[in-house]
Amino acid sequence: MKLKSRLMVEVMGYSMALVLFFGCAKEQQSQEKPRPNVLFIAIDDLNDWVGVLGGHPQIQTPNIDRLAARGVLFANAHTQAPLCNPSRASILTGYRPSTTGIYNLSPHFRDVEMTRDAVTLPQYFHQYGYRTLSNGKIFHTLGNSEEKRTDFEEWGPIGGGTAGHPTEKLVPNTHMGNHPLIDWGVYPEVGDSVRNDYKVATWAEQKLEELAVQEDGRPFFMAVGFWLPHVPLYATKKWFDLYPEHAGIHLPEAPEDDRIDIPDFSWYLHWYLPEVRLSWLKENNQWERFVRAYMATISFTDAQVGRVLDALDKQGLSDNTIVVLWSDHGFHLGEKGITGKNTLWERATHVPLIFAGPEIPKGEVVNRPAELLDIYPTLVEWAGLPTKDGLEGISLAPQLRDSNAPRKRPAITTHNPGNNSVRTERWRYIRYADGSEELYDHDEDPHEHLNLASNPAYAEVKTELAAWLTTEDAPHAPGSKHRNLEKIDGVWHWEGNPINWDDWVK
């Protein structure tokens, strides 16, 4: 047979084989249970002040609590970075800050060589036929070019923010720059519907209605990102009324001498920030008002979560949708003398993490340590997609199936190179870039008031925990700025300026 004729026969045979293969595959797929949808709910700056986590005795979060009741709550979940950009880049790319060098509010992960072409979580689902859409704050920023906005097929109109500020700040001029975002109180009076987070929930309601009747049969991956309780802490009066001043607001545990046994280097991680110190709150009679505003914005956001969950139920999508709810990091409200994030303590690293959906047990609580880095491989496995190579997280599927299943490693948080914490079920160990240390026993000291690092009785515990840390974290990625700490010519610099103890703001 001539070569050309033989090739034609081989091609025809191959084509018939493909037809038979895809025909069988299609028939098999039609007989199998369809792949689950994913509803990916992100909340900004929400610490463990959630009813089911017990972080604050007065907080009201009925909707997040009901999601936990129909799923699995990871009660010991921790962020990989106590700052928005590095945390979200880590969650969505599957890499640690100590691997990528993304520690600060800049750069965008698509501007970093290692992550420039990374297949993000929604992109991976898209590769396997998912319709992907997003609105609100999912990544730290949307990216300043179309080349960077490739992670979702459809982007909603809101990238974050609160949708406006009052003409004048509601609180007195704050120290450390009087930043416009450092504000809190009742605003606006015109109602919730003008706030961006409300609009994001409305968008989600409308999209779920559309998705319920789409005819192409594609599962969806829908990301819904809420800004609050990120500053400024604005909410309408109805949410403040949940926490009346006359009833008294429970304030966080913040002893005056709480940092007496803590290394001075700990101040370097939040050397000079827009967020106020506890001393300013006390001097200006704002501590209780600040805490109340944080609680009001949490309850407002919880209500928006409830609207989205209600829409999922209303459209008949709950039975085949994996819901995952998470916060990018925690937030201090006076503990250790500060507000904001940018620390390696429990209040900044501990976050809500809940999974609910098909075949996920209801009302279970997992106390094993978990990392936000684990979300990516967990969703991939639970949705039945092929394993994604190279991810640094560990699937939480074993703990979803059995809340007592063992966990291979603790949770590790990093804030600028060389500053890391290790969290197990009992211990938190912190080692700073200058070698100084902290150690807390959460069985005896859940608020981390007593640093045991200098006690020789715990030397073995420290050694075991320190073994989980890398020998050297990646240096800052090019373009790193905003809250960056680095050593230049032997001198520690904060945001490019030498640290001088004479400028210390306590």
At 47, list the tokens: 């610490």
For 339, other C-beta atoms within 10 Å of its C-beta total 26
Q: Is 140 a catalytic residue?
A: yes
Report which of 394, 352, 404 is spatially closest to residue 373, judged by C-alpha positions. Answer: 394
CA dihedral sign, ordered 476, 481, 484, 486:
positive
Q: At what angle do helices 196-213 and 287-314 cross, to 10 degrees?
A: 10
Q: Is 270 a catalytic residue?
A: no
Rounded CA separation 372/329 (Å): 9
Rounded CA separation 452/440 (Å): 6
Q: Which of 56, 78, 84, 230 is catalytic?
A: 84
Q: For strands 339-340 and 350-351, give the pairing.
A: unpaired
Q: Which of 56, 78, 126, 140 is catalytic?
A: 140
3-class secondary structure per residue, 447-498: CCCCCCCCCHHHHHHHHHHHCCCCCCCCCCCCCCECCCEEEECCEEEECCEE
Does residue 25 contact residue 34 with C-beta atoms inside 8 Å?
A: no
Rounded CA separation 124/170 (Å): 44
Residue 171 C-alpha from the chain's centroid: 28
Does residue 434 contact residue 265 with C-beta atoms inside 8 Å?
A: yes
Indicate which residues carry an active-site annotation.
84, 140
